[in-house]
């Protein structure tokens, strides 16, 4: 256990920019934007998205706010907060992508692999520490950022609503559930498990290929093209497409459109065949990473 | 229980395509020995040391501290430490981070001892490794290794690229502060003259084979080098030296198994340097092969 904690701490020390600083900076920027909007300093208006205090001059909006019940407020607020946190999640997704591709390639390239392997840590433990990092630990690190953004957004909105006599200060707070924090973290963990085959594939490419990006893309491109020519099907392509998307795509159809998921939905994912196919594939890939890492001993001309 | 042998190898072979990097190595290293692996590039020194560390698959029988290094590598590494010329400490880490990392993963590492060793060097605990010179990085690596209560230490060209001062410091620290008579050390280096005083035993390797192995004491008894006086040259030649070389225009004769009394009257006698002995044995092997 101590070994695993040490290995994960080492990864966080090495990748603090991607996993700690970057999400926090994005959170700070988003918070500033939110505060600026509520204080009337800026507006965000795109064809799909409108975030501005002008919306509260709309009579219908004001009436809805005055009459909405707690469930309605909660639903709207959850959707808004999910969208607001997306840039943080995208930042972390990018950091995870870079980590997966580079983590086993870099240690070979800079030859630190020989030092790491000179210590009594098995290859399996090292590989599992990296898998645990991206699936369990990084979501835990991201969560406080999301909570911070939520709280700053709700506080700014409450001040704006109260000072403009729209609704009382406590309007949103009564509808904000602290248990949503659990909903978010479990949803992030579910997402990690859903995308695990892709993450494991990228790590695998880093463990065996001299050029990890090519090693990750070329075999997949070849297999996808061969499948479409020989079998006239696109199962592999759809498999990858699904894993790039939200884990909710694994749910039965009636749940697919649900944007804000409940913890109970995760059980539904566990009951799908797709999920377990992904887990089996991930296990094979993890075995492959361990195999290649244990054979990467190219350190002498003799 | 005291272990008699730290390393036991029987018929160890490592093949790459058509060539043999190790060509049937038979070797027993007793616990407490400081064994030097001497040979040119491609002799198989590093390959053998990698096999000892469980980094390579080999044919034949290999046992290190009673364990199979390939199958029980994880267990073995709790008792074995290594420094190789290419082992790079992670540049992004600070000295403190690397010490804490080793402390977290190595059950036999003593953090306080490592800090105490480092306090006698120029290495600052909060320095980033990338800011340290190559000499200091090797010194840091040695400090880490010295703080591990290991039974076997494998050093593969540990001082390559270091200047003379650091090389001397490395070996004096190793022997004065680390070696206690119970630890076994395997060293491979091209700078043979610098480890001569450190070794208890030497192995000469060439083309994946062991050419000669013996203790330094036995080598010093068995081989003698004679710088004959001008008038004794012919008499020295008649004693059939195993090798003759020229040094600053003067012939130097190497004898094997010749009594010292017979030689002292002919000129200046002393045990040969390991490097010179190695060259002589290589020349002899070559000429025997040609003959």
Q: What DSSP line would sit under B269-281, residue for residue?
A: EEPPPHHHHHHHH
Q: Which long-range contacts (CB under 8 A, 24 or more apart) does A206-212 make?
A: A206/A100, A206/A101, A206/A102, A206/A103, A206/A104, A206/A105, A206/A106, A207/A104, A207/A105, A207/A288, A207/A289, A207/A292, A207/A293, A207/A296, A208/A288, A208/A292, A209/A105, A212/A101, A212/A102, A212/A105
A297 → closest Cβ in B42, B56, B90 = B56
Confidence of residue B88 (pLDDT cuts 50, 70, 90): confident
> Of B3, B156, B137, B24, whose CA–CA distance to B66 is shortest?
B3
Q: Judge whether B91 is closer than 8 Å to chain A, CB to CB.
A: yes
Query: What order of strands is seen across the sheet that includes strand B184-188?
Result: B80-84, B152-156, B184-188, B34-38, B201-206, B209-215
Q: Over chain B, what is the mean pLDDT?
A: 87
* Alpha-carbon span A215 to A212, nearest angstrom: 5
pLDDT of residue B61: 94
Helix (H) and strand (E) counts in chain B: 11, 13
Average pLDDT over residues B170-192: 84
In chain A, which stretches have pLDDT less than 70? Answer: 48-50, 250-261, 297-302
Tell the residue number behind the tokens 């911070």, with chain if given: A148
Q: Which of A13, A120, A300 sits opposite B86 (nearest CB)?
A: A300
Cα–Cα distance for residue pair B261/B272, rounded to 1 Å: 16
| C-beta neighbour count of A195 within 10 angstroms | 24
Q: Which residues of chain A does B92 touch, with a Cβ-Cβ cutoff of 8 Å? A: 13-14
- What are the CA-CA distances from residue B251 to residues B1, B268, B278 (Å)? 51, 12, 17
The Cα–Cα gap between A122 and B251 comes to 55
Share of chain B above pLDDT 90, in %: 39
Among chain B residues, CA nearest to A16: B92
Partners of B91 on chain A (C-beta within 8 Å) are 110
Of B47, B105, B156, the CB nearest to A119: B105
Interface probe with A: pick from B94, B104, B160, B161, most Cβ of A within 10 Å? B104
B151 touches chain A (CB under 8 A): no
Instruction: Quote the pLDDT of residue A261.
Output: 64
Can you point out the beta strands (E) in chain B?
5-16, 19-30, 34-38, 59-64, 80-84, 152-156, 184-188, 201-206, 209-215, 223-228, 243-247, 250-256, 267-270
With an 8 Å Cβ cutoff, the interface of chain A facing chain B consists of 2-3, 5-7, 9-10, 13-14, 110-112, 114-115, 117-122, 297, 299-302
Inter-chain touch A119–B77, beta carbons under 8 Å: yes
Residue in chain B closest to A5 (alpha carbons) equals B104
Asked whether the CA dihedral B15, B18, B20, B24 is positive or negative, the reply is positive
Residue B251 has pLDDT above 90, yes or no: no
Neighbours of B215 (CB within 10 A): 16
E strand or H helix that includes residue B221: helix B216-222
d(CA B96, nearest CA chain A) in Å: 12
Sheet of B59-64: strand order equals: B19-30, B5-16, B59-64
Q: All domains of chain B, ordered by start, with CATH?
A: 5-207 (3.40.50.300), 218-290 (no CATH)
pLDDT of amino acid A260: 55
For tokens 């990473």, what's the residue? A289
Q: Please tell me which residue, A41 or B127, carries the higher pLDDT value.
A: B127
Look at B87 and A118 and tell me if their CB atoms are within 8 Å: yes
Report the b/e string of A74-105 with b at 16+ CB within 10 A. beebbebbbebbebbbebbbebbbebbbbbbb
CA-based nearest distance B126→chain A, Å = 14
What six digits make up the tokens of A197?
A: 């085959």
Q: Residue B103's closest chain A neighbor by CA?
A: A6
What is the reported pLDDT for A249?
A: 72
3-state secondary structure of B137: helix
B254 with B241: CB under 8 angstroms?
Answer: yes
Mean pLDDT of B170-198: 84
| Shortest alpha-carbon distance between residue B91 and chain A (Å) | 9
Point out the residue among A7, A14, A121 whose CB comes nearest to the CB of B92: A14
pLDDT, mean over chain A? 86
Determine, for residues A118 and B82 on separate chains, whether the beta-carbon distance falls below 8 Å: yes
| Per-residue pLDDT band at B1 (split at 50, 70, 90) | low
Pick the closest to residue A134 from A28, A238, A24, A15 (CA basis): A15
Interface contact A118-B74, CB threshold 8 A: no
Nearest to B106 among A7, A112, A120 (CB): A120
Which chain B positions have a beta carbon within 8 Å of A301's beta carbon?
41-42, 46
Enumerate the residues of chain B whose CB falls inside 8 A of the CB of residue A106: none
Exposed / middle / buried, residue B249 (Cβ in 10 Å: 0-12, 13-18, 19+):
exposed
* Residues in B touching A122 (Cβ below 8 Å): 73-74
Q: Give the residue among A259, A296, A225 at the shortest CA–CA distance from A79.
A: A259
Taking contacts as CB-CB distances below 8 angstroms, the residues of chain A near B97 are 10, 13
CA dist A11 and A17 (Å) reads 11
Question: Least CA distance to A302: which residue of chain B?
Answer: B42
Average pLDDT over residues B125-135: 91
Instruction: Please answer yes or no on whether B156 and A115 come within 8 Å at the CB atom.
Output: no
Q: Find, in chain A, the residue whose alpha carbon is nearest to that of B93.
A: A14
Indicate the residue of A7, A9, A111 with minimum beta-carbon distance to B86.
A111
Per-residue CA distances from A82 to A78, A188, A261, A264, B209 (Å): 6, 12, 10, 18, 67
**Quick check: B31 pLDDT over 50?**
yes
Residue B185 has pLDDT above 80, yes or no: yes
The pLDDT score that the predictor gives to residue B290 is 60
Residues B200-208 have a mean pLDDT of: 92
């Amino acid at each position: 256990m101590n070994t695993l904690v040490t290995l994960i701490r080492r990864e966080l020390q090495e990748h603090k920019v991607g996993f700690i600083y970057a999400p926090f900076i994005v959170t700070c920027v988003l918070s500033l934007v939110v505060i600026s909007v509520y204080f009337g300093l800026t507006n965000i208006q795109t064809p799909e998205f409108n975030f501005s205090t002008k919306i509260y001059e709309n009579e219908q909006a004001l009436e809805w706010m005055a009459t909405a019940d707690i469930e309605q407020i909660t639903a709207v607020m959850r959707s808004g907060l999910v969208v607001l946190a997306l840039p943080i999640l995208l930042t972390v997704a990018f950091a995870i992508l870079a980590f997966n591709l580079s983590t086993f390639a870099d240690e070979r390239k800079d030859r630190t692999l020989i030092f790491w392997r000179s210590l009594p840590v098995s290859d399996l433990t090292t590989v599992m520490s990296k898998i645990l990092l991206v699936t369990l630990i990084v979501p835990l690190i991201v969560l406080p950022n999301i909570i911070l953004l939520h709280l700053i957004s709700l506080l700014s909105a409450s001040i704006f609503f109260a000072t403009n006599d729209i609704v009382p200060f406590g309007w949103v707070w009564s509808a904000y559930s602290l248990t949503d924090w659990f909903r978010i973290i479990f949803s992030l963990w579910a997402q990690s498990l859903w995308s695990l085959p892709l993450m494991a594939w990228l790590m695998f490419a880093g463990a065996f290929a001299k050029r990890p990006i090519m090693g990750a893309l070329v075999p997949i491109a070849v297999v996808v093209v061969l499948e479409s020519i020989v079998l006239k099907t696109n199962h592999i392509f759809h498999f990858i497409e699904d894993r790039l998307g939200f884990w909710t795509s694994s749910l039965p159809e009636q749940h697919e459109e649900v944007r804000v998921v409940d913890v109970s939905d995760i059980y539904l994912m566990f009951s799908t065949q797709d999920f377990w196919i992904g887990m089996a594939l991930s296990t094979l890939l993890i075995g492959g990473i361990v195999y290649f890492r244990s054979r990467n001993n190219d350190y002498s001309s003799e | 229980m005291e272990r008699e042998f730290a390393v036991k190898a029987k018929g160890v072979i490592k093949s790459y395509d058509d060539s043999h990097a190790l060509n049937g190595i038979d070797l027993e290293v007793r616990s407490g020995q400081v064994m030097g692996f001497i040979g040119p590039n491609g002799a198989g020194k590093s390959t053998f040391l990698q096999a000892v560390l469980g980094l390579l698959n080999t044919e034949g029988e290999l046992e290190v501290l009673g364990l199979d290094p390939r199958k029980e590598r994880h267990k073995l590494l709790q008792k074995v430490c290594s420094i190789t010329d290419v082992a790079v400490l992670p540049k992004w880490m600070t000295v403190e981070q690397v010490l804490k990392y080793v402390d977290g993963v190595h059950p036999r590492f003593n953090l306080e001892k490592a800090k105490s060793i480092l306090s006698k060097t120029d290495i600052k605990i909060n320095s980033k490794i990338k800011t340290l010179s190559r000499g200091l990085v090797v010194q840091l690596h040695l400090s880490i290794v010295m703080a591990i209560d290991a039974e076997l230490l494998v050093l593969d060209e540990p001082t390559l690229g270091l200047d003379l001062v650091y090389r001397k410091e490395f070996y004096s620290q190793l022997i004065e502060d680390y070696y206690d008579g119970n630890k076994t050390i395997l060293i491979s280096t091209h700078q043979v003259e610098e480890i001569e005083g450190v070794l208890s035993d030497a192995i000469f390797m060439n083309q994946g084979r062991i050419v000669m192995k013996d203790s330094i004491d036995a080598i010093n008894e068995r081989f003698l080098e004679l710088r004959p006086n001008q008038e004794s040259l012919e008499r020295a030649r008649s004693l059939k030296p195993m090798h003759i070389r020229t040094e600053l225009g003067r012939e130097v004769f190497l004898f094997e198994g010749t009594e010292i009394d017979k030689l002292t009257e002919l000129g200046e006698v002393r045990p040969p340097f390991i490097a010179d002995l190695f060259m002589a044995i290589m020349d002899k092997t070559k000429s025997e092969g040609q003959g």
